[in-house]
Structure 1
Amino acid sequence: MADKVPTSRLLRGSRLGQVAAGRAIRNAGTRLSMVGRSEEVRARLSEQSAIAAADQLVTVLGGMKGVAMKLGQMLSILDLDLVPENHRDEFQRKLAALRDQAPTTSFETMSAVIEADYGRPLSEVFAEFDSEAVAAASIGQVYRARLHDGREVAVKVQYPGIDAAIRADLKNLTMFLKIWRSSVPSFSMPPLLEELQLNFEGELDYEREAQTQHRIAATYADHPFIAVPDSLPELSTRRVLVSEFFEGTSFSQIRSLPQHERNRIGEILFRFYIGSLYRYHEFCGDPHPGNVLLGTDGRVGFVDFGLFNSMDAEHVEFEKRCLRAATEGRADDLYALMVRRGVISRAAEVTPDECLEYVFAAAEWNLVDEEIAITPEMANAGFLLAIDPRAAEFSGMKSQTLPPEHLFSRRAEFLTFGVLGQLDACANWHRISREWTYGDPAATELGVAEEKWRPSR
């Protein structure tokens, strides 16, 4: 692919338009082809059309990087019924390439970004620098290097022009989501678009991310099973982020581990992505497999802190109170909490029972006191039932608008649910979550280890 990321709103919009136009043409052609055909033939033609549209979506989103590719990464975690069931594994593998094997930009192009930001040659900053990228994602590529003092580091470098490309994407996104409303209606919601606009540009500031990562690394220093490689803010710029190199096994390899190991890793993901919100009032808004590595010492390493958010203590407490009310089946109390917070309009035709049932539809996996094995199908079904306007259930609740701070945390929760589904992880998620919602003692070996570590923070 060409090294230069297209930044023109018109050009990037036309690529998104090609996907939508191709889909419209295929739909029209399929309808015409179905005339006079048998039911079996019509089903096959419809299936072929869906597969062709999905393939084009992967190709276009992967080539664009930026916001469009980020949507592809989200789709790789939560399958939204875009293709027939017997083709979903293949579709997911193609989408997974957007997070694991994104198209790379040449080293010459990327090293020019580094030298421009540093104002000096690469060799003056690094003793060694591997020209092969170890990872490529929506905003930049990651390289392995060694400093002159011998430390092994990861160097994340932004694609040149990606800032303009993202701003163009955000302007085009309204058009794109409207066109794809029939296939991905849950991505057409105004609150999701607003949330992307609020948070995505912050991901471009690597100096800010380096400071965030440095703080989170200090929070989790010497943790028994969570590893956050420390950043080096003094070597980080707006487009270059340097951090300790974390050697680890990729998520695709983790998925092939025995069940008990995947269960352990799943619990660690749950404790980091969800537990950090309730314990420390800050959390990662971008849980996805590309940001997770299994270290040689058994700890799980977390990387990429561009979308790390904090939440006011009063808002965290509101969420805890809602979870406790839902767990205990107190529908009237849950409803009253949501009305007072402005989550539910007083004029809305929503009953306390519907409110409770809706919360269970979205979060039953961590509200009921039993072991639950999370499958991809379960994660997808929960996500769609909660927000897909095509589903008739809970229409009153779906018409309500979450305040921005709660929308971002719900996005993180749904994506965590999706990642756990990719692992097929099993646990009593409710017993674990009671540690932070009720203040209960540790329910697992990992919880006990963390309980012993916490006073030393």
Structure 2
Amino acid sequence: MSEEKNLPTSRVVRTAMLGRVVAGQAVRHVGTKVAVAGRSTEYRTAKMEKSQVQAAKAIIAGLGTMRGAAMKLGQMMALVDIGLFPEEIREDMQRAMSQLLHSAPTVSFGKMRTVIESDLGGRISKFFAEFDETPLAAASIGQVYRARTLDGRSVAVKVQYPGVDKAIRADLRNLSLVLKAGKAIAPNVDWSALSTELRERIEEELDYAVEAQNQRRVARLYRGHPFITVPEVLTELCTPHVLVTEFFEGRRYEEIRDRAAVAERNRVAEIVFRFHMGSLYLHRQFSPDPHPGNFLVGPDGRVAFLDFGVYKHLTQDEADRQCDLMRAVQTDSPEAIHAQLCRVGVIADADGVSPSDAYDFIQTLFWWASTPGDVALAPDAINEAVLVSINPASAHFDLARKQAMPADQAVVLRMMLMVVATLGQFNATGDWNNILREWLDGAAPNTELGRADAEFRGAAFSSAL
């Protein structure tokens, strides 16, 4: 983590910081256009790809020195772009993304101590027997420390940066500048819609009391699960700016991706899939932000899921629509898919989109779900799905842009694509189709994890009677 820098909170200073990032990219972008004029199509394409990579790296680096909304947008951009770059520069991009996902400039412990003691109402020693002043992690809104409670429990203490709420609101007012920076990478993305989602999510994330409530609910759902765990919340030590949970020792995503054997990567991938997708189909709730920095793999094989600052709950009707849509996807029937897309509002003009066009469009998004048997996912697993909406040359670009996708469907789709992108980074193989059918149609599980999960859910159901 880099050395401490003061956190500017005024709109003027934040605007200047964002402006430097955007201006730098504007110069690079214009310079590239001039340099490639008159060259062959292949040469221009190669130069523009290089320009986009340079823009992505510079924007990620620039936003990563800030906190709040700007860095959160940088994290989202990093995840959306997983697998979209040429193979020869993909490794460099992954390193830049990983750095952004897990680190940020640190704030001195003296300043963080003030937040802790002010919120808890007393000196740290009144609440903790031990407190390591070196942060374990520094992210967009706060830092995480390791401590031990007076009764001996090992805990993780997440503390919000002092003044970060003001900095975030300054960023939100200046979001148009960030959008200009984003257009250097993907000029056809609907950055306005992205900014709306960002505003809503960031405001929720500012209150750690909301996150504590979300995490308690999810922890109850998975308490005693054989391979999924959610650290318990110590409610008595939580405030709007301090969140204390049980400490979980585990390996990060990059270590699994880069060093784990194939069998372990597949196992972790299936667990990630079961947690995020299963929470949606079994419990009508899910994390809209399932990025790779939010889980750890423990020495006993359990996977701990972290960060519930934003957690989406669906109504029964919304959940039923999601189930019906996935069932239609799995029928492999153009007519069934077309009818369901019309029902959920994805297709606004039933006569303007044929069943075959609807089928092709859905296959671009959900091919991994509709294919029976083991399916291998590669790092570029979501390339075509993302390019549908950002590349005018895509066969489905017009269809994607003309349809008015309901908000709940858009959030679910984003979650699914981010999960699949993560599994692709693992080069994971799994029978995703059958796992989905376990939840949708009561199909028998065909993996060890599936059988263990079914046994857990059966026991939980019996105990609830």
Q: TM-score range by the shorter chain?
A: over 0.9
Within a 5 Å distance, the mapping from 1:332-347 to structure 2 comes to: 332-346=335-349
Q: Give the stretch that moved more between structures: 197-206 or 278-287.
A: 197-206
Deviation of 1:265 after TM superposition, in Å, equals 0.4
Within a 5 Å distance, the mapping from 1:59-78 to structure 2 comes to: 59-78=61-80
Give TM-score scaled by structure 1 length: 0.93
**Secondary structure in 2 aligned to 1:242?**
strand
Tell me whether 1:367 sits opposite 2:370 in the alignment. yes
In structure 1, runs of 5+ residues without a counterpart are none
Deviation of 1:444 after TM superposition, in Å, equals 1.2
Task: Indicate the residue corresponding to 1:159 in structure 2.
Answer: 161
Deviation of 1:289 after TM superposition, in Å, equals 1.4
Task: Indicate the residue corresponding to 2:306 in structure 1.
Answer: 303
Task: Indicate the residue corresponding to 2:201 in structure 1.
Answer: 199
Equivalent position amino acid for 1:440 in 2: A
Tell me whether 1:352 sits opposite 2:355 in the alignment. yes
Checking the alignment, whether the CA contact within 8 Å between 2:207 and 2:241 is kept in structure 1 is yes
Checking the alignment, whether the CA contact within 8 Å between 1:250 and 1:293 is kept in structure 2 is yes
Deviation of 1:83 after TM superposition, in Å, equals 5.6
**Secondary structure in 1 aligned to 2:382?**
helix
Checking the alignment, whether the CA contact within 8 Å between 2:329 and 2:366 is kept in structure 1 is no
How far, CA to CA, are the matches of 1:369 and 1:316 in structure 2?
Answer: 23
Question: Of residues 98, 102, 105 in structure 2, which corresponds to 1:103?
Answer: 105
Give the direction of change, closer, same or farther, for the CA distance of 1:15–1:451 in structure 2 (3 Å limit): same
How far, CA to CA, are the matches of 1:82 and 1:249 in structure 2?
Answer: 26
Give the direction of change, closer, same or farther, for the CA distance of 1:86–1:27 in structure 2 (3 Å limit): same
How far, CA to CA, are the matches of 2:268 and 2:149 in structure 1?
Answer: 31
How far, CA to CA, are the matches of 1:252 and 1:80 in structure 2?
Answer: 14
Deviation of 1:43 after TM superposition, in Å, equals 7.5
Within a 5 Å distance, the mapping from 1:367-386 to structure 2 comes to: 367-385=370-388
Give the direction of change, closer, same or farther, for the CA distance of 1:109–1:339 in structure 2 (3 Å limit): same
Equivalent position amino acid for 1:439 in 2: G
Alpha-carbon displacement from aligned partner over 1:128-185 (angstroms, at most 9, x marks no partner): 1001111111111110000010000000011112222222222322343245335224
Question: Of residues 181, 184, 187 in structure 1, which corresponds to 2:186?
Answer: 184
How far, CA to CA, are the matches of 2:45 and 2:321 in structure 1?
Answer: 48
How far, CA to CA, are the matches of 1:403 and 1:31 in structure 2?
Answer: 37
- Indicate the RMSD between aligned Cα atoms, in angstroms: 2.4
Checking the alignment, whether the CA contact within 8 Å between 1:375 and 1:421 is kept in structure 2 is yes
Checking the alignment, whether the CA contact within 8 Å between 2:82 and 2:379 is kept in structure 1 is no
How far, CA to CA, are the matches of 1:285 and 1:43 in structure 2?
Answer: 34
Give the direction of change, closer, same or farther, for the CA distance of 1:174–1:71 in structure 2 (3 Å limit): same
How far, CA to CA, are the matches of 2:232 and 2:135 in structure 1?
Answer: 20
Aligned length: 456
Give the direction of change, closer, same or farther, for the CA distance of 1:318–1:378 in structure 2 (3 Å limit): same
**Secondary structure in 2 aligned to 1:249?**
coil
Task: Indicate the residue corresponding to 2:137 in structure 1.
Answer: 135
Within a 5 Å distance, the mapping from 1:290-329 to structure 2 comes to: 290-329=293-332
Task: Indicate the residue corresponding to 2:451 in structure 1.
Answer: 448
Q: Give the stretch that moved more between structures: 343-352 or 239-248.
A: 343-352
**Secondary structure in 1 aligned to 2:174?**
helix
Task: Indicate the residue corresponding to 2:19 in structure 1.
Answer: 17
**Secondary structure in 2 aligned to 1:142?**
strand
How far, CA to CA, are the matches of 1:267 and 1:237 in structure 2?
Answer: 34
Deviation of 1:189 after TM superposition, in Å, equals 4.0
Give the direction of change, closer, same or farther, for the CA distance of 1:71–1:321 in structure 2 (3 Å limit): same
Task: Indicate the residue corresponding to 2:400 in structure 1.
Answer: 397
Task: Indicate the residue corresponding to 1:245 in structure 2.
Answer: 247
Deviation of 1:322 after TM superposition, in Å, equals 1.3
Deviation of 1:81 after TM superposition, in Å, equals 7.6
Give the direction of change, closer, same or farther, for the CA distance of 1:80–1:453 in structure 2 (3 Å limit): closer
Question: Of residues 280, 283, 304 in structure 1, which corresponds to 2:283?
Answer: 280
Task: Indicate the residue corresponding to 1:235 in structure 2.
Answer: 237
Deviation of 1:41 after TM superposition, in Å, equals 8.3
Give TM-score scaled by structure 2 length: 0.91
Give the direction of change, closer, same or farther, for the CA distance of 1:215–1:22 in structure 2 (3 Å limit): same
Question: Of residues 407, 411, 432 in structure 2, which corresponds to 1:429?
Answer: 432
How far, CA to CA, are the matches of 1:191 and 1:50 in structure 2?
Answer: 22
Alpha-carbon displacement from aligned partner over 1:178-235 (angstroms, at most 9, x marks no partner): 4533522465343332222222211111111111111211110110000111011221
In structure 2, runs of 5+ residues without a counterpart are 461-465
How far, CA to CA, are the matches of 2:343 and 2:94 in structure 1?
Answer: 41
